[in-house]
Amino acid sequence: MGSLRSLRLLRRQLSLGVRPMRIYVHTLRSIALIVLGLCSVDSVQASTAQCDGNTLEIQTCMAKKLDKANTRLARYLTAAQARIDKDFGSRPNLKTAQAAWVHYRELECGDVFELWAQGTYRTTASSECMLRLTKERTHEIWQAYLTYQDSTPPLLPEPR
């Protein structure tokens, strides 16, 4: 479903006159996200494997994991925004990017929910999607905003 959406987006961008370089960059980002997602499948499967029991127990466990991941993401975002404010003055770009990312996560994991709509696994699959994307986003925030290029230690530990 994601590749079909990407093709539709590409067609729409071309019809709107978006420059080919922007499309190229968007395509590279999409490929990078797909590769990153494939690399993190094991960690998500491991987190689901730790949630045992019936469907309700698994969903409750996944909800707790997602809540913990969201709390960690909020902590890393707060630290990142503080660094931006300190180093560059107040800039809304991170907040705007985060709002766009939240929208992306809702759409992406909503598609996963719809894909599995015929079974009880749909909520678990959607939660796994949200957990994976949240962990990836936390790591992206850490790498982009909370680390330094020299030997200065990061502002927060690397998220795992």
The mean pLDDT values, 10 residues at a time, for the chain of 160 residues are: 56 55 48 47 50 90 97 98 90 92 97 90 94 98 96 94
Cα–Cα distance list, 75 to 29, 37, 48, 146 (Å):
25, 23, 24, 11
> How many other CB atoms are found less than 10 A from the CB of residue 31?
11
pLDDT at residue number 64: 97
Distance CA 140, CA 77 (A): 10
Cα–Cα distance list, 111 to 37, 66, 71, 96, 101 (Å):
16, 18, 24, 23, 15
pLDDT at residue number 133: 98
pLDDT at residue number 41: 43
Q: Given the structure tokens 């019809």, which residue do they identify?
A: 15
pLDDT at residue number 1: 53
> How many other CB atoms are found less than 10 A from the CB of residue 94?
17
pLDDT at residue number 96: 94
**What is the crossing angle of helices 121-145 and 41-49, to 10°?**
130
Distance CA 21, CA 66 (A): 36
Q: Given the structure tokens 């987006």, which residue do they identify?
A: 9
Q: CA angle, corner 154, sides to 132 and 100, nearest 5?
A: 40
pLDDT at residue number 143: 97
pLDDT at residue number 61: 96
Q: Could you tell me how many residues make up the chain? A: 160
Local structure of 28: helix, strand or coil:
helix
* pTM, two decimal places: 0.68
